[in-house]
Chain A
């Protein structure tokens, strides 16, 4: 089995168009979440982390015609382009694969009132992925993972598995989701949005905050300082929209991903700030005997960016590993989950070598991935 390493990367959110900008803003305690008013997304004001459209177009102009690509496609292309800037991986090569992770892609094209300038064909995720792939003249047909909120981690795990088997040398994983009336109204109808910016793992948490983002992680067989060691997915077999009451599904994913690896220094939780998700995670983490491991949720900085979340949160926490800094869970002032776990409330310096990333989503799906720093 080949070892798999992390190559170049990129993050685009309201906090910046590079991983560094995002990290610097987070370390300064900035959040991308604002109260959004007068948007076509919702008739009533709601907190969300939205990327400025003018800025997307200004930056995209250097790459292509802003009229020819949807907002989703522009973000994905910008993020991949940025990650590739410092990379030497061959693109038009059978040993390079592109995996797109998204929950809803160009779903806003269903809205006849808003978009009539793009063909409905663009609603098909494989068409969207093909357009992105053709922009970079990639050789292979892209793969697409649409697995609710675990999509990003599931795509990273898939990439790791394919390289470890020797099927590819390099895998470009991009996760993107943008907000639409479709998505916002859906979460509103579920009463799962918080009235104020989300408060992950807080005793008074009252729901999630949505966000937009695009992030790219390049997985490679070429040695770097970070290795992705293993990963696993699982299902709760319990409920399609509610997290498991026991945390058993996520516990199975953690167990299979860590294979009893004991020296975990940091957990990047899913931490959506819904009452049930955070309780479920606390149960799974405790059951795995990891309750004392410093744990954060980054949803208070970026909101829940759906198909991009797992990649954005992995990348920020890998920066934590490289810089030996624990990043605090913004929005959490009084931790309060059914099981006590070690939520990071203050940013602080600490030697870190091993990161466990978690995700869970609708459909009862769970994922866990284990990353290791090599000095």
Chain B
């Protein structure tokens, strides 16, 4: 088995964008998530009108994936050869809470559709034409050992040639964090091993 590498890492935390551990963009710390998300969208000149319809979890995952995948050379990689293996701890509870509030008036289908955690994988897949293996895990904390084993399994046993993996979390108090990694056999400086998935938590 050839080694796997982390080709890129995108982290969104504390109103800041980090790419490969380097701080790239930030807004004032007192701005809320929605305002941070809009600033990132504008700063990186993303043009995708569906973005405005998305819930917070999807915006978070969508923006992180967009930064992760821009400039990627997808030559010789089919849509079904790209996998998305992600996890979080709060599932879709941030939106679940918002949906529950609409029950006392008119339940909103536009909100209800976002009350599943894997919708974010769907949004990333639609924007980036990704059709491969896809699974969303709920974990108390990001289980780097398991996730790294599972991603390696996919490279060894399925047609996976590229994988987006990581953590996409926003809880009911709107504490958020993403750590998305782009994994492939293309040699890079960082090998894809458990200890190189350095996730730290903002609500600890």
- B138 & A240 in contact (Cβ 8 Å cutoff): no
Tell me which of B80, B89, B149, B153 contacts A252 (CB under 8 A). B80
- A182 & B131 in contact (Cβ 8 Å cutoff): no
Least distance between B131 CB and chain A CB atoms (Å): 5
- B129 & A363 in contact (Cβ 8 Å cutoff): no
Give Cα distance in the complex from A190 to B114, angstroms: 12
B121: chain A residues within 8 A (beta carbon): 235, 363, 365
B122 to chain A: closest residue by CB? A363
- A235 & B116 in contact (Cβ 8 Å cutoff): no
Give Cα distance in the complex from A225 to B93, angstroms: 41
B contacts with A, residue count (CB < 8 A): 49
A148 close to B (CB within 8 Å): yes
Give Cα distance in the complex from A240 to B112, angstroms: 12
Tell me which of A110, A143, A249, A361 contacts B97 (CB under 8 A). A110
Q: Of residues 251 to 267 in A, which have CB atoms within 8 Å of B's CB atoms?
A: 252, 256
Task: Give the tally of cross-chain contacts (CB within 8 A).
Answer: 146
A contacts with B, residue count (CB < 8 A): 51
Q: Determine which residue in B96, B100, B108, B159 has the highest number of CB atoms from chain A within 10 A of its CB, and name it.
A: B100
B84: chain A residues within 8 A (beta carbon): 235
Tell me which of B112, B134, B149 contacts A233 (CB under 8 A). B134
Q: Of residues 286 to 339 in A, which have CB atoms within 8 Å of B's CB atoms?
A: none
- A148 & B118 in contact (Cβ 8 Å cutoff): yes
- A110 & B136 in contact (Cβ 8 Å cutoff): no
In the complex with contacts A125-B91, A146-B117, A161-B153, A256-B126 CB distance below 8 A:
no
In the complex with contacts A146-B136, A167-B149, A234-B133, A181-B103 CB distance below 8 A:
yes
- A256 & B159 in contact (Cβ 8 Å cutoff): yes
- B140 & A126 in contact (Cβ 8 Å cutoff): yes
In the complex with contacts A107-B96, A111-B100, A363-B121, A161-B157 CB distance below 8 A:
yes
B140: chain A residues within 8 A (beta carbon): 126, 141
Chain B interface secondary structure, helix, strand, loop or mixed? mixed
A174 close to B (CB within 8 Å): no
Q: Determine which residue in A105, A124, A236, A238 has the highest number of CB atoms from chain B within 10 A of its CB, and name it.
A: A124
A144 close to B (CB within 8 Å): yes
- B107 & A237 in contact (Cβ 8 Å cutoff): no
Least distance between B102 CB and chain A CB atoms (Å): 9
Least distance between B202 CB and chain A CB atoms (Å): 17
B90 close to A (CB within 8 Å): yes
Residues of A within 8 A of B (CB): 1, 103-105, 107, 110-111, 123-126, 129, 141, 143-148, 154, 158, 161, 165, 167, 181-182, 185-186, 188-191, 232-241, 248-249, 252, 256, 361-365
Residues of B within 8 A of A (CB): 79-80, 84, 89-91, 93, 96-97, 99-100, 103, 106-109, 112-113, 115-119, 121-123, 125-126, 128-140, 143, 146, 149-150, 153, 157-159
Q: List 21 A-B contacts (CB under 8 A).
A: A104-B115, A123-B93, A126-B138, A144-B137, A144-B138, A148-B119, A182-B99, A232-B133, A234-B134, A235-B121, A235-B130, A235-B131, A235-B132, A236-B125, A236-B131, A240-B123, A240-B126, A256-B80, A362-B119, A363-B121, A364-B125
